Amino acid sequence: MPSPFVTLDLETTGLDSGSDAIIEIGCVRFDGDEVVDRWSKLINPRRKLSFFITSLTGITDRDLAGKPSIDDVLPDLRRFIGASPLVAQSAGFDLGFLRAAGLYLNNEVYDTFELASILLPNRSSYSLGALASEFGIELAQAHRATDDAEATGQLFNALARQAARLPLATLIEINRLAANSNWGLRSFFRDAEKEATRTVFLKTYERKALESGDLGPLLNPLAQRRGQFPEELVPVANPEPLDVDGLAGFLEMDGPLAQVFPGYEHREPQIEMLRAVADAFNNGDHVLIEAGTGTGKSLAYLLPAMAWALQNRRRVVVSTNTINLQDQLFTKDLPDIEQVFAALRSGDASVPAGDTSLYRLAEQANGFQVALMKGRSNYLCPRRLDTMRSRDDLNEDELKMLARVLVWLTQTTTGDRVELSLPTGRDRAIWGRLATEVGGCSAERCENSQGGRCFFYRNRRAAEGAHLIVVNHALLLADVAVGGRALPEYEHLIVDEAHHLEDAITQQLSFTASQPDLERLLDDIYPEGGQGERGVLYDLRKRLVKGGLSATVRQGLDRHISATQQKVELARDRLGLFFMVLHGFIGDNHGGQNSQYGVRVRLDRKMRAQPAWEQVEIGWDKIGPTLYELGEAMNTLRKGLDELDQSGVPDLEELLSDLGSLATHVMENYMHIHAAIVQPEDNGIYWAELDRDG
């Protein structure tokens, strides 16, 4: 790691470098872990400080009276920093203010915020205070420049040690991806690899696997185990009724839950709800329960559901409206119940004499299996990760995201995005290109060819042996839509947050198309002007060159690729015209509803009778056939590639999958927009929205 280095921190009158001013600069010079020098200055901003800034920093107008101007201070700052590498928390903020003040630094820069987001990929906060607390770093006076700068230096050293402890294969892969980039952290990870190499050697077979693009050496070993799934549930022939009184005793004031969790609050409505749920299981009834806030409804339905599934080996599905509640049930409520059962097994909790049903249930719970199932887009796709890893034109955002994912892969066993911090819109957009997709995977392609490493199919296999499956409404309804193929078979369902079910059904049966989404779709096929080495058509052309095809075959495919590219460009041009016309129609607000969010127009028969609607139809007549022809061209290209199965084209199966998925998205957009504009269905409801930003 660089040594010596200088850490930098600024305090300012606000966040805008164009209109706000610097009021304090602090720098600390480090040689390894040792502080060797400090430099700090208070600066007169020639304006009054806000109450907020004074409260935050403790700096007052009196403190700054008579202090030098920023112009007087900058030469000394430049001399102190010299040519040393710079370390800062959110370096772009500090350097932006210095540039606005007239100081341009060309030093090597390390951003601890960016480093922490990569090396600690699942944290909810990357503030200096949160990170200092995690590493046990004393922050004597937060939001004072010198103290923050010193804490930043200690944090940088802690992160350097963290990086050196990463698996060597992970560091090698990060450095391979960054080798030809100008990424500011490239030298940091090179140094980390050198440090790690002093104590760890990569086995020959691991290095060869890594060089061949195999994901194996980069995964948490627990995520690679095969054949470790629970056995499928075989329901008992004659279900055993639940002991309702015994289950209710679990929640009584002197019951086992209160013994294990002394802060537990006894609630009679919770016990009443538990009894109602248990009776419904016993009698095969449908029951609708309205529970007020504070009832404790989760435990009231989870306990009977667990008991029924364990006693009778009959799967129960619990559906929630939000992924957050899913995660709460999976990571808190169910583990709390299991903790109480463990206490009953060990004798640390008890039930009244003569009541044996809970003891028996506690023994059965020792083999309890629960699965958390989410939609495909929540899981990392190893195949799509491999595709991005194989690119040689990664931009800096993609490099940072891949580095974060590679570090996360050493920790995760689920591949669930909830474990990964995605703080920015750019991060979430890149995740969309790494996540499992509906049209791009199948059991044959992914579960088998990925050697058991597909997180989505591993999760699905685990669910087949689960007593209880926790899903959200979207996945529950998707299972209904595909005839029960999305979830393992079940007979009993608990719908939590059922008042949201109608909205979830509406959303599940709806289709949304927008100009930005369609533009991104076209960019995934062929970016505007062919800029950058990306897009499925670029990947296809590059791999065909390596495929050992005859000149005649390659030229034929190349002509088809060029024709498809032209259709993409034509669609892109006409897309803008169509949405411009639609924008104008909505903007005229023909019966639309203005709100703080924008304008919504219901596209009913009356609206289509407006004279201006004809221009919308004309606009669609220009783009619609082009989209259709693009989808057809991509499907034709896919069929042609399918016949080259033995040609040796690298990653042909991935190309087929990506082409098929993108073609499906193109045709779906065509069909739904065509129905909305030209051929509305009698039982369809259509509307157009214009958001506040246009």
Instruction: Over range 13-32, report the average pLDDT.
Output: 94
pLDDT, residue 247, reads 94
pLDDT, residue 370, reads 93
- On the question of pLDDT at 321 being above 70, the answer is yes
Cβ(604)–Cβ(576) below 8 Å = no
* Strand-pair category, 34-42 with 22-31: antiparallel
Cβ(14)–Cβ(3) below 8 Å = no
pLDDT, residue 196, reads 84
- On the question of pLDDT at 595 being above 50, the answer is no
Q: In this predicted model, which residue has the larger pLDDT, 7 or 433?
A: 7
pLDDT, residue 354, reads 66
H or E element that contains 372: strand 370-372
H or E element that contains 10: strand 5-12
Q: Quick: pLDDT tens for 278-301.
A: 999 999 999 999 988 888 999 999
Instruction: Over range 629-657, report the average pLDDT.
Output: 78
pLDDT, residue 652, reads 72
Tokens 């987001």 belong to which residue?
117
pLDDT, residue 633, reads 93
pLDDT, residue 511, reads 85
Q: Average pLDDT over the chain, rounded to whole?
A: 87
Instruction: Over range 551-561, report the average pLDDT.
Output: 84
Cβ(40)–Cβ(26) below 8 Å = yes
Q: Can you give the C-alpha Rg of the chain in angstroms?
A: 30
- On the question of pLDDT at 592 being above 50, the answer is no
Catalytic residue numbers read: 143
- On the question of pLDDT at 17 being above 50, the answer is yes
- On the question of pLDDT at 195 being above 50, the answer is yes
Task: Tell whether omega for the bond before 625 is within 30 degrees of 0, i.e. cis.
Answer: no
Q: How confident is the model at residue 535 (pLDDT cuts 50, 70, 90)?
A: confident
Q: Quick: pLDDT tens for 446-461.
A: 655 555 678 888 888 8
In the chain, what percentage of residues exceed pLDDT 70? 89
pLDDT, residue 645, reads 57
- On the question of pLDDT at 646 being above 60, the answer is no
pLDDT, residue 423, reads 83
- On the question of pLDDT at 313 being above 70, the answer is yes
* Alpha-carbon separation of residue 417 from 348, 386, 409, 428, 452 (angstroms): 37, 17, 11, 10, 19
pLDDT, residue 226, reads 46
Helical H runs in 241-296? 244-249, 256-260, 268-283
Closest-CA residue to 687 (of 676, 679, 671): 676
pTM across the whole model: 0.76
Q: In this predicted model, which residue has the larger pLDDT, 464 or 450?
A: 464
pLDDT, residue 466, reads 93
Assign 590 to helix, strand or coil.
coil
Q: How confident is the model at residue 673 (pLDDT cuts 50, 70, 90)?
A: very high
- On the question of pLDDT at 94 being above 90, the answer is yes
- On the question of pLDDT at 593 being above 60, the answer is no
Q: Quick: pLDDT tens for 218-271.
A: 776 655 554 466 777 888 889 999 999 999 999 999 899 999 998 889 999 999
pLDDT, residue 155, reads 97
Show the CA angle centred on residue 426, arms to residues 422 and 432, nearest 5°.
Answer: 75
